[in-house]
Structure 1
Amino acid sequence: MTFGPHACTTPASFEAEWLLTDGIGGYATGTIAGLRTRRYHALLVTPARRVALAALDPVLVVPGAPPVRLATHEWGSGAIDPAGHRHLESFEIIDSVPRWRWRVGEYVLEREIAMTRGRNAVAVVHRLVAAPPGAQARLTLTALCTWRGADSERFCDGPDMVLDGTTVAGAYRLDGPGWKPLGEWYLDAYHREEAARGLNPIEDLWAAGTFEGTLRVGGDLTVTACSGDLETPLPPGPTVVDEARRRARRLVRQAGARDTADRLLVLAADQFIVTGGDAPDVIAGYPWFGSYLRDTMTAYEGLFLHTGRTAEGAALLRSHAALGVRMREETLRDADGPLWYVHAVERHVARTGDADLALELLPAVEGVVAAYTKGTRDGVSVDPLDGLLALDAQHAGLTWMNAVFPRGPVTPRDGKPVELNALWANALGAVAALRERCGRDASVVHARRDAVRAQFVKRFRAPDGWLYDIVDAGPAPYPKGGSGVHDDSVLRPNQLLAFSLPYAPAADETHLRDSVLRAVGAGLLTPLGLRTLAPGEYGYAGVHRGGVFPRDTAYHQGTVWPWWIGPYADVLCAAGRSVDALLHTVAAHLGECGLGSVSEIAEGDAPHRATGAPFSARSVAAVLHARAVIRQNCNLQGLEKKKLAREPRPRTRRNALR
């Protein structure tokens, strides 16, 4: 990915963000311009989500000219000073390593950043790549530091920042040539994205000291920062950069990536996978999300199976083998995540043919089904009258539509949500398939799944031409829903799971499926994914802006979620419809916001501005899955064409004469 001088100096350079991760939960992130627009932007954030090294401000001194400040900062006064981005001639991401080049006359200074894998450490390498013959330049780097939680700010009147040599706050160490302690405060640093989110946009930064050196063409000046193990020295900065590039190439080869978008998405998927604990885990999104069962399992197929990381995936699935027990003994605050776990196990076994894993995890998935049958501590239970899953009113905010205010959920899901029951029917089918693969009798599970499927189609078929979003719903917080128990036919994307999952309960209802596709395509489809509510429905919110209240209100009331591209592509493919044009805009989006990645959400109204977390695991996984579906669909079409070509042509009179 390459950006020229125009892209580096326009306001768009303040919005496009890069991300590096260390594989254990730490990260570095910022903008093309180098402007810190979020409280999360820093060169080193620890796995415990503590912001450490906020910035390294470069000043280049060339012979016969005044010093040139190459950093970019915005202040509470509204001033942007310095404005070093005006000297940027290019920004690139090459094999996952970001590279900046500033030009000052005949001098060109390059910066590359890389993180070590498995250790919370970053290397920032500066290299003089062009200068007049025999000339040299002086480079000074000011380390702007802090030590705070990633979701908060720090000010000069708070606890003192302590510097011991190059160790800051007793928590992280800086290393580099020509160190000179400083200890000054930079006041009122401004984060415009936090202001847009209705949060405090101001903080103070502590200039701990400076690094300094003289550079000739080809020479480098490297600064490293690390937390955790402060005694073990880091490899040289250029070595860290080279290893990061080699690892990126290995991942791309391992995944069999075919084009640029594939390569970018494979590397984006790697950013969410962490291996710091006993088993791999998934960060739901950067820069502010943690690890959650639902997000992990929804993204599992794309992150692990479509990138060739099946061994890591199997270890992750094994680590959740006690999920059924946990559902009965503790509150997970997750009504549908365990059903996605069953789906992930079945998809892994179906794709890899790993019979040993199937035998090992069969008790785990059966335990999940048993927990739902007996009733979970998250308020989910089986209705004995129809065998469908019901969610009680006290836990109505525990599905994937989980925006909750003190007064209750924004989009209550109490009753029998369509997505929960589609996943339930799919889980029963998955358990039956796994039992058969393990040589076990599956007739009882098949019978139960058939009964649930029949009840699902009967209960959820709505007169509007699509499926009810919830049946037996409680009193709704808006006029259309009525005041008592009712069936809600509001148009949302949740119903797609009834057709997209491998053991989907409505997969055989072709006329209903085609009707749903027409409704979804007309009312929910946007270039970046599916709206969570059709524009004509009551409560639709077409923008996702402002403070916490308006943003959470809009979160599932019209906001676009790219992760629904995956289920939508599955249904299109099942219907025999073309899916080739589905991902063109998403491919272009890879160079807009979270560079090389896919945003968490976008606004429902055109032009569908991306918002939320700029790097989302579910979104990246869904696009990887959709691209695999498209590729499989194209292959099937190609095989069909070859089959037709091989069939003998009918002998017409003209052919016979010829």
Structure 2
Amino acid sequence: MTFGPHACSTAAGFEAEWLVTDGLGGYATGTVAGLRTRRYHGLLVTPDRRLALAALDPVLTLPGGATVRLAVHEWASGALDPSGHHHLEQFELADGVPRWRWRIGEIVLEREVAMVHGRNAVAVTHRLVSAPPGATVELSLTALCTWRDADAERDRTSASPDVVILDDGGIEVESAYRVHGPGFRAIGEWYLDAYAREEAARGLNAVEDLWAAGAFTATLAAGDSADVFACSDDLPPAGAAATVEAARRRARRLVRASGAREGVDRALVLAADQFIVTRDGAPAVIAGYPWFGSYLRDTMTAYEGLFLHTGRHAEGRRLLQAHADLGERMRATELGDADGPLWYVHAVERHVARTGDADLAAELLPAVENVVAAYTKGTRDGVGVDPADGLLVIDADHSGLTWMNARFPRGAVTPRDGKPVELNALWANALGAVCALRERCGRDASVVQSRRDTVRAQVVKRFRAPDGWLFDVVDARPAPYPKGGGSEHDDPVLRPNQLLAFSLPYAPAADEPHLREHVLRAVGATLVTPLGLRTLAPGEFGYHGSHRGGVVPRDTAYHQGTAWAWLLGPYVDARCAAGLPVDATLAGVEAHLSECGLGSVSEIAEGDAPHRATGAPFSARSVAAVLHARAAIRQNCKMQGAEPTQTGKMKLARAAGPRKRRNALR
């Protein structure tokens, strides 16, 4: 992905963001132009989400003595100073490594950033690509430091960061991290009122102060380099250039191991890698950058895309094993999650089905059966089986624990107590998954199969709505309602949750083709956008087509019309199961890879056109869904005797001679 000088110096350069990660949860991130537009932007963020090194501001002193500042900052006054992005001639993201090139006449300076996989350490390399013959320039890199929670700010009213100059010329900040580079000289002053425009747009505090600890300096001729290495451990710095090259080699290995051949797939494989981390010795998944942590629902919803479609079966196996005690935890404590354990059962079955791992099936069969038993008995999160129909029901005190989980102090924004459709689709799917695993292990599955058949029949019977699609919730109470009050009703609001009843491997409504086609027509006509599916149809009461402003308006819109990319996976699966065209479904989201979180997929987008991306610019579920959907489209094309194009579309190959066939595939 390459940006030219115009894009680098205009709005596109301020909006497009890059990300590199360390495999532990730490990261470095910023914009193409170099402007820090978020409180999270920096060159070193630790796995426990502490912002350390905020920026390295480059200044070139030219042979004639003139100085050119190449950084770019925005201040609370509205000033943009310096404006070094005007000297950017190119930004490139290749093999996951971002590269900037600044040009001042004949002088070209290049910067690259990479992290050490398995260490919270970042290398920032600078190379003078070209200069007049015999000329040298001086490069100064001002280290803007802080030490704060990534979700907060620090200012001059607090004590200045404690900076110690080390014997090797580097510095140690707050006894928490080190920065090494050439020719350090101390500065020790506050840069006041740095402004983060994206935080202002989100209704949050947008102003902070940064501590200019000092500057690293080097005199460079053409071909020379000056590198800075920052880390939050006590290990000596690795070679910065070697770190960058190691990051490139690792990216290429990941792509080769995945078998990805097309540009979109290669980008998505590298995007998936950013979310897979090691925590407490086991693989885990970061739900999104720059502010999310690791959560059961996001991890298991994204499992198939992140691990199975990228060839990372061994890591996935260890992750599933690490959650083998899930059933016990459901009975012992509140997980804050109504459906995550059901997604875990789905992930285990999908892993075994794809890999044929009979040993894992035998090992984890008790774990998935314990999950089913926990739901049957009733979880600490208020989810249990209604003995009248065998469906899962959520009590009123836990109505915000589905994936539509935005909350206000007074309660859930989208209360879904009662029997949500996707929860019961996952419940039927989990029973089917247990049947499949028991059969694979040579165990009798008849009792579970009988129970699954009952649940499937009840889903079709209870959720069929007069409008022709499925109720979103049955046996629901009106909201707002007094605790314990209100009469039960069935909610016919048009949402995408019902897609799981048709898309999962053991979908309860899979044998209802007419119902499925009617649902897909309604969903396609009202919910589908280029970047995902709306969470509420525009004609429904409470629809919000905009997702911007402060916390309250954004949370209000979060599941009330905002489009989610992860829903593209179930939508494509349901269309493939129905034999409907899928060739153009992903065109918009694939083009989006070069718009916001570069090489990745945003968490959400506004429901109203032009569907501005919002939320986290790097989302695990979104990336996983697109990976899965592309695989489903390829499989669908294969079954129909077609070939997908590089954009995910497909063209039918005519069997009318070699020339016509080549033209069709072209």
Q: TM-score range by the shorter chain?
A: over 0.9
Give 1:195's match in structure 2, choosing from 195, 200, 204: 200
Whether contact under 8 Å (1:272, 1:282) holds in the other structure is yes
Residue in structure 1 matched with residue 85 of structure 2 by the alignment: 85
CA RMSD of aligned residues (A): 1.5
Residue among 489, 496, 499 paired with 1:496: 499
Q: Does the CA contact (< 8 Å) of 2:160 and 2:211 recur in 1? A: no
CA distance in 2, matches of 1:565, 1:39: 30
**Is the partner of 2:585 in helix, strand or coil?**
helix
Q: Deviations over 1:260-287 (max 9, x none)?
A: 1111100000000001422100000000
Q: CA deviation at 1:15?
A: 0.7
Do residues 308 (structure 1) and 311 (structure 2) align? yes
SS of 1:110's equivalent in the other structure is strand
Secondary structure of 1:275's aligned partner? strand
Mapping for residues 115-130 of structure 1, pairs under 5 Å: 115-130=115-130
In the alignment, residue 150 of structure 1 is paired with which amino acid? A
**Alignment match, 1:318:** 321
Q: Deviations over 1:551-585 (max 9, x none)?
A: 00000000000000000000010111111101111
Residue of 195, 218, 242 corresponding to 1:239:
242
Matched residue, 1:654: none
Return the offset for 1:44.
0.1
Equivalent residues in 2 for 1:315-394, closer than 5 Å: 315-394=318-397
Amino acid at match of 1:313: G
CA distance in 2, matches of 1:277, 1:581: 42
Q: Deviations over 1:41-88 (max 9, x none)?
A: 000000110000000000011112510000000000000000000000
Find the aligned partners of 1:176 and 1:272 in 2 and give their Cα distance.
29
Alpha-carbon distance in structure 2 between the residues aligned to 1:634 and 1:62: 58
Letter in 2 for 1:225: A
Matched residues in 1 for 2:212 and 2:621: separation? 38
**2:430 maps to 1:427:** yes
What are the Cα deviations for residues 168-205 of structure 1, in whole angstroms up to 9, with x where unaligned? 11100010100111111000000000000000000000
1:59 and 2:59 matched: yes
Using the alignment, how far apart are the partners of 2:7 and 2:524 within structure 1? 34
- Deviations along 1:354-377, whole A, 9 cap, x unmatched? 000000000000000000000000
Q: Distance in 2 between matches of 1:323 and 1:170?
A: 38
Where in structure 2 are the equivalents of 1:474-513 lying within 5 Å?
A: 474-477=477-480, 484-513=487-516
* Aligned AA (1:591): S
1:483 deviates by 5.2
**Aligned counterpart, 1:650:** none
Q: Which residue of 2 is the match for residue 546 of structure 1?
A: 549
| Structure 2 residue 403 is matched with structure 1 residue 400 | yes
Q: 3-state DSSP class of the match of 1:214?
A: strand
- Displacement of 1:17 in angstroms is 0.3
Distance change >3 Å, CA 639–CA 549, structure 1 → 2: closer
Which 5+ residue runs of structure 1 have no aligned equivalent?
647-658
Q: CA deviation at 1:645?
A: 7.2
Among candidates 563, 586, 591, match of residue 589 of structure 2: 586
Contact 1:304 1:312 in 2 (8 A): yes
Partners in 2 of 1:17 and 1:286 — Cα distance? 11
Secondary structure of the residue aligned to 2:584 is helix
C-alpha contact (below 8 Å) 2:332/2:380 kept by paired residues: yes
Q: Secondary structure at the match of 2:507?
A: coil
2:184 counterpart of 1:179: yes
Distance (whole Å) between structure 2 residues aligned to residue 406 and residue 642 of structure 1: 54
CA gap of 1:404–1:182, structure 2 versus 1, over 3 A, is same
Alignment-mate amino acid for residue 186 of structure 1 = Y
Does the 8 Å CA contact 1:542/1:554 hold for their aligned counterparts? yes
* Counterpart-to-counterpart distance in 2, 1:313 and 1:133: 54
**1:643–1:538 Cα change, 3 Å:** closer
Q: Distance in 1 between matches of 2:207 and 2:415?
A: 35
Distance 2:478 2:642 in 1: 52
**Residue equivalent to 1:263:** 266
Q: Percentage identity across aligned positions?
A: 76
Pair 1:32-2:32 in alignment: yes
Check the 8 A contact 1:118/1:276 in 2, yes or no: no
Which of 454, 460, 472 lines up with 1:451 in the alignment? 454
Superposed structure 1 runs of 4+ greater than 3 Å apart: 639-646
Contact 1:468–1:488 (8 Å) recurs in 2 = yes
Matched, 1:415 2:418: yes
Q: Residue 581 of structure 1: SS of its match in structure 2?
A: coil
Q: Which amino acid aligns with 2:125?
A: V
User: For the residues of structure 2 that align with 1:279 and 1:556, how far apart are their CA atoms?
Assistant: 32
- Name which of structure 1's ranges 518-527 and 272-281 shifts more when overlaid on structure 2: 272-281
1:377-421 Cα shifts (integer Å, max 9, x gaps): 000010000000000000000110000111110000100000000
Measured in 1, the distance between the counterparts of 2:379 and 2:609 equals 41
Find the counterpart in structure 2 of residue 596 from structure 1.
Answer: 599
User: Aligned with 1:580: secondary structure?
Assistant: coil
Greater displacement, 621-630 / 255-264: 255-264
Partner of 1:296: 299
CA displacement at 1:599 relative to structure 2: 0.2
Q: In the alignment, which residue of structure 2 is the partner of 1:573? A: 576
Instruction: State TM-score, norm by structure 2.
Output: 0.95
1:442 aligns with 2:462: no
- 1:599 counterpart SS class: coil
1:465-485 deviations in whole A, cap 9, x for unaligned? 10000000012349xxx9521
Cα distance in 2 for partners of 1:545, 1:275 equals: 33
Contact kept? 1:23, 1:276, Cα under 8 Å: no
Letter in 2 for 1:233: P
When normalised by structure 1's length, the TM-score is: 0.96
1:96 aligns with 2:96: yes
How many residues matched?
A: 641
For residues 571 and 92 of structure 2, what CA distance do their matches in structure 1 show?
A: 33
**Structure 2: unaligned runs, 5 residues or longer:** 166-170, 644-650, 657-666
